[in-house]
Structure 1
Amino acid sequence: METKFHFVDIDVKTTYLAQDSQPGQAQYVFSYTVTIKNSGAVAAQLLRRHWIITDANGIKIEVIGEGVVGEQPYLRPGEKFQYTSMTSIRTPVGVMHGSYQLIGDDGVMFDAPIPAFRLATLRQVFH
């Protein structure tokens, strides 16, 4: 079995913030809590983030910046970092995805994809 030297697991939970939203003005605010776990064999530091946020009308917002919530966390193998941030879109449903750019202690730069996750004012129940 091959060891993955550079591998990051990402989990995201979202919450609709009704108290901060203004549906009459087409502003729906969501918080999202991200857990980043270094599942690789090499310690790494998160340098940059890249988000693509798409509302139900297909309007895309791209966010690129240094670190996350003002930090550039350093994660040893097995360590986790969790943070919460917010975004707003113009429709009650949307989707976000993106990637983090990291650098390993071995000098290798790599991207960790953030799988698409849903932003929705109501939880959908599937039977």
Structure 2
Amino acid sequence: MVQQVTRGIKISVETTFEGTFYKNHKMRYAFGYKITIANQSKDSVQLMARHWRITDALSAPETVAGEGVIGKKPVLKPGESHTYSSGCLLNSAFGAMQGFYQMVNFTTTRNFKVKIPVFKLSAPFALN
């Protein structure tokens, strides 16, 4: 598990290798990840957007950005957490993801970024 705390918001990431399959005559590697966002601050916050940088050992890095996470913009009061699962496809058995969440603090009404730490994606059969 990888963890990072930014401005009282703790991000925890767990990854899984889901398997391989062929798409358009190419081998693809499927990875899943589960993220828990825990509000350890004294203020209520809301996740508004996400920004990802996905690195694949065989391809150029890809940027993915959008509103919320899996169609939600969770509000977290102090002490609350939100967990969701998602995934990505890579062209190789190795890669990594990192990024940030754009959040708003309800007390100050200010936007701020919460860092999502780098987490590795690797197929177990490809490791020594």
Q: TM-score, normalised by structure 2?
A: 0.86
Residues 10-25 of structure 1: matches in 2 within 5 Å? 10-18=11-19, 21-22=21-22, 25=26
Matches within 5 A, 1:50-89: 50-57=51-58, 59-89=60-90
- Residue 104 of structure 1 corresponds to 105
Deviation at 1:57, TM superposition (A): 2.7
User: Which structure 1 segments of 5+ residues have no match?
Assistant: 1-5
Equivalent in the alignment of 1:94: 95
Partner amino acid for 1:119?
L
Length, aligned pairs only: 120
Runs of 4+ aligned structure 1 residues displaced above 4 Å come to none
TM-score by length of 1: 0.87
Matches of 1:50 and 1:41, distance apart in 2: 25
Offset of residue 26 of structure 1: 2.9
Contact (CA 8 Å) 1:29, 1:87: kept in 2 or not? Answer: yes
Q: Deviations over 1:44-71 (max 9, x none)?
A: 0000000000011352111000000000
Structure with greater proportional strand content: 2
Q: Aligned residues: percent identity?
A: 35
How large is the Cα RMSD of the aligned pairs? 2.0
Structure 2, unmatched stretches of 5+, are: 1-6
